[in-house]
Chain A
């Protein structure tokens, strides 16, 4: 049977077919749908959202130690969070197979950096597999688990946004049964005290030598021969682009990216007059291949290290290398248009919060989530964003250096706070930092499309569970001043924030308004502008709501008045609260727009 699946859906299917017993993850674009699909379609697999990637990874290790094939999924920067268990699990090895997915995001469609995680596998001395399409995404989950068991090692499956989020036709198979012995108390293998770890490090190197032999003969590293003088070494999504542009050129397709089959590559290089490496982001293959003495091989000088590749970029690179006569042409020039950056949704409670923070001119350290969009004009009220949970530590450091006379506020979401913010608040209490932390609690992991977390009261598998109480939690950490606000109540919330910022010592404010999209799009009665009352002051434009647009009617002959699109307005009332002439009112007669 065949089905059209995305790379992520295919990984979920692969886990099912390979007899995976446990899957854990923290949501992160472009990896999120892997666990969502496992939970939605394959109830034979225990699946959980963990509070962060480190915990997810450790749960996966436990699953493997316990004798169940385990899969852990995360975005590329999530691997940084999980790097601690990864680096030592690489020493202990597995009981049942263990595969983790690193979903990299070249071009940073939804990320803060575009680090190339192929280096992580090399750093940890563990093998990684890299699929080019959905079929391979599915197949490689099973192959990764087999390699994991045969070589006693965790294995990384390295995806990228274009593989994770592209759909292709996949042949489905029936699931297999796998049985492994339960955990045995082999402390020499699993307790990494120095005496044991030294022995395990030695096994890692022995394992690597065996893997180096294995990859030379693996069909995952294949040569497609057409008898050309040019040979191209490529892997991942770049393989598809190369085939698009040069379908009948000799290609060495790398399926296992670490360790590389250097003997086989060497033969390929010797058999061709010219060899290019085509790979996205860093010159990872190129450096290893050149370091192995094949220094005629070229690559990055034609294809660049930034952003995603594409058929077009590869054609341009091949042209530059003198291998393609015609430069690809386009029929129409790109239009010179306004940009359309992402914005907070109409009705989003974060809009209220940032409207206030901007008004108060506070320094705001930010974090990872929808609310990072508070940095964009016209809100422009968030001034740092590094990684999950960084807002609090950043605020503490800034306060220690600069003092907090002007007010420093850390803003992070509910899911981000549970992921990496708790220890930050603990530090603020412990080291007596005079900052205010605002937990923008919209009761869901919103940016990634609405996932449960430990404060929502539901698990990934849809069971009811205990929900963390943020107020009790931060009080237990030692915060004495804890307040809650509805960020869509403008004056009231502004007053609370003013008071808390002015207080000495760490304080925490928790917002209580849910995400406007979850669990379903909230649509109340829309508002409208009475044009005769509107003075064209543009105050409502400055909250950056997509439902508000300039009218053709001008005030004083030059300032555009405002109008509201009733199909977008959710009736959150924020614009009405800040409109001085009170020109924004409930739409009359009240209409309901579905």
Chain B
């Protein structure tokens, strides 16, 4: 363990415990570890300030009084340094711990773990009996997740290469609004500046790195924007009527919002968004699923089947 670590901890304690601003000379005199010439101490202190800042510890500069020829002073505000989540109960701790454990092994595992350690350091017992036995997990994550969220928090535009449906790299510039995870994929929504329209991107289709463009505060995010609700709307724009064989096509039955008995078959009503992808999922079920309506979808399926007969016959 280096002397430097020890000095940084001592500096943090000193600046945190002080009720008034400490001048550099007071710091050099009282905090253990500042040695050498004035110049050396000065450089040491500048580096220490940067190091603490990189840990998210902000050192406040103050105590300058224009009437007196005062030296600048330094302190760390306890209210910025210390965890304060307001009133926290054992149930809150149990829920937050469950939330942190959801990252088991995935991208945000480290911050989730350090958050968990902080929660366990509050001296409040987790009330596990008050919550149901659950083991939620993030199904996956992406290494650029925090980069995008930082850009969203500071409202800085981002750019990246995106794989088109033909696997061609296309350069996109986006004012990112939100990030969400569903069915094992991560999504990013925002205003595509070239298209001037809202677009949703899948993280695993972003090729290589995500870069920030320009300054922070470059755009506004619509209040209450919710990516998954937006996706839900897009996925539920039309209704299809489908006949499925009893005891088969379970995946389609699960999506139905209305089911009618039809002898050997069941007639189901399903919402869908993208017609092409919906046809794909109907055809996956082979002769266990038939589209009744819309007529245009039946025609497109018939054309596909004719093509399959022709190419494979």
Are chains A and B native binding partners rather than an unrelated pairing? no
